[in-house]
Amino acid sequence: MTRPLAQSQDAESGRLSRRDRRGFKRVELKLTGRFLVGDTDDFELRTANMSCDGAFIVSKELPGIDEQIVCYFDDVGRVVANVVRHSPGGFAVRFHTSPHKRDKLADRLTWLINRDRLGLDEERGSERYRASGEAVVNLSDGGQLKCSVTDISLTGAAFEANGKPPFVGEKVSVGNLVGEVVRVTGNKFAVRYIHGQKPASRSDV
């Protein structure tokens, strides 16, 4: 499934900066951690949004423009970055990553974005950024289907059903997300998220 690679608006100004037009799509993602300036000064951080190649960091401390910092994100790890912009409430950074590191970061961010939405537990026996876990899919007739998650992205997810899968076109919900089944192969099926809709309560089905 797709990774967060499309262009997006600048979260603070509402405009497309030249840097953002060249970069990857930023998505709202709140991570905590610390950043190190120089050899001794380290400060707490919280992200407002993040992408494969940068983030907006909420902080009262503002390193200089073009200054190099080292970020230690609690759920991602160590990433070296340069400050590219100051904005009210914090600053934007651009990461220094190899293509391989950027791919791994994309996988990890995609997992984190979907983890809370789908209510997934991480599989401790594998690399943390991989998409795997158990989920309960709520069907349109009020039934529930236990599934294994095989793939997740910003636009949808794929499942392997422990039983008969839903049919193509059926609306289902997982956690707080509503989606439409777009593909069924055997007991495997793919769901595309429908944004702006909330799952029906159990009393509504």
pLDDT above 90 coverage of the chain, percent: 27
In the block, tokens 């120089």 appear at: 38
Name the residue among 117, 147, 102, 119 with its Cα closest to residue 3. 102
Instruction: Give tens-digit pLDDT for 66-82.
Output: 999 989 887 788 889 99
Cα distances (Å, whole numbers) of residue 148 to 11, 70, 118, 138, 160:
34, 36, 11, 14, 5
CB-neighbour burial class of residue 170 (10 A; exposed 0-12, middle 13-18, buried 19+) = middle
Q: How large is the average pLDDT for residues 150-160? A: 82
Cα separation, 81 vs 192, in Å, equals 34
The yes or no reply on domain 122-193 and CATH 2.40.10.220 is: yes
Q: What is the predicted pLDDT for the residue at 156?
A: 80
Q: Can 18-97 and 122-193 be said to share one CATH topology?
A: yes
**Domain positions in the chain:** 18-97, 122-193
What is the average pLDDT across 82-109? 90
Three-state DSSP string of 83-100: EEEEECCEEEEEECCCHH
Q: Which residue has the higher pLDDT, 2 or 136?
A: 136
Query: How many angstroms separate the CA atoms of 47 and 156, rounded?
Result: 24
Superfamily of structural domain 18-97: predicted glycosyltransferase like domains (2.40.10.220)
Mean pLDDT of 160-181: 88
What mean pLDDT, rounded, does the chain reach? 77
In 3D space, the residue among 101, 165, 152, 97 whose CA is nearest the CA of residue 122 turns out to be 152
pLDDT reported for residue 132:
63
Measured in degrees and rounded to the nearest 5, phi and psi for residue 67 equal: -70, 140
Q: What is the pLDDT of residues 10-67, one digit of tens each?
A: 333 333 344 433 356 778 888 888 898 877 678 888 999 998 889 999 998 999 999 9
Say yes or no to pLDDT of 143 above 80: yes
